[in-house]
Chains A and B, each alone.
Chain A
Amino acid sequence: METKLPPASTPTSPSSPGLSPVPPPDKVDGFSRRSLRRARPRRSHSSSQFRYQSNQQELTPLPLLKDVPASELHDLLSRKLAQCGVMFDFLDCVADLKGKEVKRAALNELVECVGSTRGVLIEPVYPDIIRMISVNIFRTLPPSENPEFDPEEDEPNLEPSWPHLQLVYEFFLRFLESPDFQPSVAKRYVDQKFVLMLLELFDSEDPREREYLKTILHRVYGKFLGLRAYIRKQCSHIFLRFIYELEHFNGVAELLEILGSIINGFALPLKTEHKQFLVRVLIPLHSVKSLSVFHAQLAYCVVQFLEKDATLTEHVIRGLLKYWPKTCTQKEVMFLGEMEEILDVIEPSQFVKIQEPLFKQVARCVSSPHFQVAERALYFWNNEYILSLIEDNCHTVLPAVFGTLYQVSKEHWNQTIVSLIYNVLKTFMEMNGKLFDELTASYKLEKQQEQQKARERQELWQGLEELRLRRLQGTQGAKEAPLQRLTPQVAASGGQS
């Protein structure tokens, strides 16, 4: 059972350039994708949209909009909109083909009309338009066919009703972009509830749908000033739920892309609300398992913030260090990439605040047994700007990384890594020969001290454990008189036993 799409019904009206929904991304790496290899029996698609409408009326084609006199245009328009509000069952691809065709033709005409004819969008048609759009797009998304859906590996479930749905989205977009569109009229219908339902659709598994939603939400944000704060708030709710409750939401990348352009437009100085969004939402987003799906968009948002307000750098970097991946090397490479993007725009005054913890982490990455992580970290030294920052602060940075680099240069299994480390050590030597010599000399001593410390620690815990046991015994002895507080005896008896 493959996706049941009804026979070729590509819309005749072309999408406006730049808005055409991207096809599902094809990988061109030459490897067959897991989902293709894995012959998984597909369940039949379902879509909650189509609960049976038993009293389905028959649709009959109406006259074309361009054929009627202007006086009848709006009446016909609203009849067409009503026709487009009739829903069809796309799971059964042969059901009611005639009705589907009538609706498709009507939708095509509406798309055409709202995009090219001036004077169509008068106040009375707004509620009809929004009703038609709502009926078509708002639905509870069906349960995912594959509970472990991995957006990177698996084929998404495509929306069966796309032949109609696409035209509705196209119509909605052109409606919003029409020169006649009046936000002041539309805001009565495009309200908070409408936006909330729109945001919920971003969870759609169908990338084509999310692409339309992205453009549409962007236009809504641009045109409805009164909804902006609400949209931002709801986005952050979606993200927080995604981070802390579900770990599943398909549209994170798209929402972040919109936010990227929103952040770009923030006025200075940044409001506390926005800063809080960065620190409490965007940074924790890094901890999500499926980071790779939206990392590019997320990193863009973070860098946008830092370009707006450099004083946020310390927060951001400390945040990233807190969420630094412990077991996922793939994510670690992404973190390193983002860190370099941040360092590219960092101000030297900010750099000094975080250089030590940051470079300790970089050193840990260099010592990673996964060579891609080590390599990515060592590439930092190829970056001229970072190198100049290191040089200016070599008295802090070098001691933070030297021990690890020195040790890894002798131990790493991968020759490329070893030679990269030698290069780094060489730059250190050239940077500050004296400091380098001192560090080399103290390296051995430190190693010994570490061992000493470990021994002391062991002794400490041993002593504590013994003391605990003595106390416990003492407690048991003194159990009969539990309220004795000023008790040299207790301590003494503890000491004796």
Chain B
Amino acid sequence: MAGAAGPGIGPGAAGGDGDDSLYPIAVLIDELRNEDVQLRLNSIKKLSTIALALGVERTRTELLPFLTDTIYDEDEVLLALAEQLGNFTGLVGGPDFAHCLLPPLESLATVEETVVRDKAVESLRQISQEHTPVALEAHFVPLVKRLASGDWFTSRTSACGLFSVCYPRASNALKAEIRQCFRSLCTDDTPMVRRAAASKLGEFAKVLELDSVKSEIVPLFTNLASDEQDSVRLLAVEACVSIAQLLSQDDLEALVMPTLRQAAEDKSWRVRYMVADKFSELQKAVGPKITLSDLIPAFQNLLKDCEAEVRAAAAHKVKELCENLPIEGRETIIMNQILPYIKELVSDTNQHVKSALASVIMGLSTILGKENTIEHLLPLFLAQLKDECPEVRLNIISNLDCVNEVIGIRQLSQSLLPAIVELAEDAKWRVRLAIIEYMPLLAGQLGVEFFDEKLNSLCMAWLVDHVYAIREAATSNLMKLVQKFGTEWAQNTIVPKVLVMANDPNYLHRMTTLFCINALSEACGQEITTKQMLPIVLKMAGDQVANVRFNVAKSLQKIGPILDTEALQEEVKPVLQKLGQDEDMDVKYFAQEAISGIAARARKLDFPVKDSDEPSVPGADKNHFWRPRGPREDTGKGPAYQLHVNTRDTLARLEMAELVLFFPKQRLIPLD
């Protein structure tokens, strides 16, 4: 669709007359105004097809006028139209005719719905680049001026986004006019327009000549930054970043800083929040000198702001701020001017503030070095590790690697352990999930001894968690641990414990054994898999719960590639064949899947087959097994098909489906 309008089409190449007899415009137009919105929408989305069928000439003379005249449709249709027109230049005959697209887009840029307007502006910006300089002056700039003086705020709002694209290519006389237009929008009566102008101020400043920036943009900026509405003032803060980059230090001090200082102390927390949020950008834009003289004191105020939102935003920026300070004297500044405030935030009353701080505070250790970290930061880390809010503790733990590089994790391990244990047993499963994900990292940093002693039992406990997502994460955690600590460790510590669970009375735990085997077999290698895991899996094929049995089939398929041919032939095949005759439909299905999977692999290895043979299903299937339904042909109706999905994301849902599925014939429903 849209590809048709891509750059592949040379100007005029798609010309020529369309097949009039076949597609009179009336028919197409009928489609474009069908009563059914969905059909109209479909037609609009194929607008490029229509245009191509009509040819460039008739697109210009018939289609575009029609589109321009009938813009009173559902917003959804208009949005699609606005989007299409942005790629239409090729379809109207190339850059020479790009201006033909302006009338419909102009109307679209004035509609009420913001999404449509924004899309129209985006398309106009795109098309502006395709205009020749002459066409830009003759058609595009007048359009911007018309929009900028529109009656209703919508057109004036849209105009704000178009100045910066036409200004650089306009003649000097026109440039003055464009600036004048923009000035008037910045002082518009409607706050919506002032907000739009303020949000484009930075962008516009960048394309202006430096003199104009100083003489025109700066006053506008000062004005907007002291607007009566805080929603306008806060946008000026954003513009400040762009403007500051353009000015010299002296000009900056004289023209911008008074306003910025004022914004950092604005009476509205939204404005102060914005300053905090943009702090790193501001810091880079104003340079080190002003940072030291002005921004640091402002930052201190933001860190002790009366609004928690502002404090949290500032806390987020602590690390970046410190990183970006000039290296010379950095340590002193941080120690004397920042750290005291951080210390207070550690015991803030608001948990969002503390957690924002916890997410960055560890990063300071690399900046401050070993001694300072131990003396000043460590107490803070330890305090946060004991925080009542789990998010704070989690944020600390998730950033341990930064500290590890500087002082080694041992310093923390005494406090770390209780924190980890507590998180590992948190009542919220998402918290438990989060801590599991850091286990491999922690294990790597704490070393195998510490791990075996303190953390191993936690990892095993997660395997029998009552939330599936936790058990699943615990399984993949084990795999990562084995990758870290090696197979010998696995054989001694993990595998026996996992295999014991195969005799658990709870079928969910028995299935966990299978899932663990799926995950571990590859990391553990052939020997452990064949000698220790396989017997257990095979034994479980006689389980009384169907879910376990078909998971056996799945596991066998999974570990098949690791086993040698002998084991496959002698041990796996008979079991799968038996499962293939199971009374349960799904067990049968998965057994058969496993057999064909293993068979296909075996054939590939043993005797090369011709390409053409490969995709066909092995004949054995059809002969030996009754197929309840063609799983691949049947489009997702049967339960087996639904169960066939085994991506990570769907597993949790899958388990529920399995439960529901087997509920009626379950002889023994173990409860968690």
Binding site for B on A (CB under 8 A): 43-44, 46, 48, 50-52, 140, 142-143, 193, 196, 237, 240-241, 244-245, 280, 284, 322, 457, 460-461, 463-465, 467-468, 471-472, 474-476, 478-479, 482-485, 487-488, 490-491, 494
Contacts and interface: CB of A to CB of B under 8 A. Distances in A.
Contacts of A140: 230, 267-270
B269 A48 contact: yes
Given A51-B306, A460-B31, A244 B192 contact: yes
Contacts of A237: 190-192
Contact of A245 (B12, B114, B306): B114
Looking at B112, B191, B349, B351, the one whose CB has the most chain A CB atoms below 10 A away is B112
Given A245-B114, A245-B192, A48 B307 contact: yes
A490 B152 contact: no
A493 B535 CA distance: 70
Contacts of B352: 43
Given A51-B306, A483-B12, A487-B15, A44 B349 contact: yes
Contacts of B558: none
Interface string B191-202: 110010000000
A278 B46 CA distance: 36
B192 A475 contact: no
Contacts of B31: 457, 460
Interface stretch (B49-57, B216-224, B443-451, B653-661): B49-57
B350 interface: yes
A490 B8 contact: no
Given A457-B31, A460-B31, A468-B49, A476 B8 contact: yes
Given A46-B308, A471-B14, A487-B16, A240 B9 contact: no
Contacts of B190: 237
Interface string B151-193: 0110000000000000000000000000000000000001110
B228 interface: yes
B4 A494 contact: no
B663 interface: no
A468 B4 contact: yes
B138 interface: no
B625 interface: no
Nearest to B115: A244
B309 A240 contact: no
A86 to B, nearest CB: 18
Task: State the main secondary structure of chain B at its contact with A.
Answer: loop
Nearest to B10: A482
Contact of B27 (A240, A460, A488): A460
A479 B18 CA distance: 18
Contact of B114 (A50, A244, A468, A479): A244
Given A240-B153, A280-B112, A475-B14, A52 B192 contact: no
A280 B8 contact: no
B17 interface: yes
Contact of B23 (A196, A245, A464): A464
Interface in B106-122: 112-114
Nearest to A360: B35
B609 interface: no
A479 B52 contact: no
Given A244-B112, A463-B23, A464-B50, A478 B13 contact: yes
B605 interface: no
A34 to B, nearest CB: 19
A483 to B, nearest CB: 6
A234 to B, nearest CB: 9
A142 B269 contact: yes
Given A143-B307, A475-B8, A196 B15 contact: no
B11 interface: yes
A447 B231 CA distance: 55
A46 B306 contact: yes
Given A48-B268, A244-B113, A471-B14, 13 more contacts: A140-B267, A143-B308, A237-B192, A240-B153, A241-B191, A245-B195, A467-B52, A468-B49, A471-B52, A472-B52, A475-B13, A482-B11, A485-B12
Nearest to A489: B16
Given A48-B306, A482-B11, A280 B152 contact: yes
Interface in B329-363: 349-352
Please list the 3 inter-chain residue pairs (A to B) with the smallest Cβ-Cβ separation, ordered nearest first: A482-B10, A491-B16, A140-B268
Interface residues of B, number: 48
B22 A463 contact: yes
Nearest to B19: A467
B114 A484 contact: no
A452 B18 CA distance: 26
Contacts of B11: 482-483
B74 interface: yes
Interface of B: 4, 8-19, 22-23, 27, 31, 39, 46, 49-50, 52-53, 74, 112-114, 152-153, 190-192, 195, 228, 230-231, 267-270, 306-309, 349-352
Contact of A196 (B22, B228, B351): B228
B114 to A, nearest CB: 5
A260 B17 CA distance: 59
Nearest to B6: A472
Contacts of B15: 484-485, 487, 490
Nearest to A193: B228
Contacts of A463: 22-23
Contacts of B17: 491
A428 to B, nearest CB: 22
Contacts of B349: 44
Contact of B16 (A52, A244, A488): A488
Contacts of A322: 74
A43 B15 CA distance: 66
A464 B228 contact: no
A237 B19 CA distance: 51
Contacts of A484: 12-13, 15
B368 to A, nearest CB: 31
Contacts of A244: 112-114, 192
A280 B155 CA distance: 14
A464 B16 contact: no
Contacts of B192: 237, 240-241, 244-245
10 contacts: A240-B153, A457-B31, A460-B23, A463-B23, A464-B50, A465-B49, A468-B4, A474-B14, A479-B10, A487-B16
A85 to B, nearest CB: 16
B16 A490 contact: yes
B307 to A, nearest CB: 6
A471 B53 contact: yes
Contacts of A52: 306
B308 A43 contact: yes
A52 B304 CA distance: 11
A484 B49 CA distance: 21
A457 B49 contact: no
Contact of B10 (A461, A468, A475, A494): A475
* Residue among B16, B31, B112, B192 with the highest chain A CB neighbour number at 10 A: B16
A490 to B, nearest CB: 5
Contacts of B350: 43-44
Contacts of A48: 267-269, 306-307
A43 B348 CA distance: 12
A139 B517 CA distance: 62
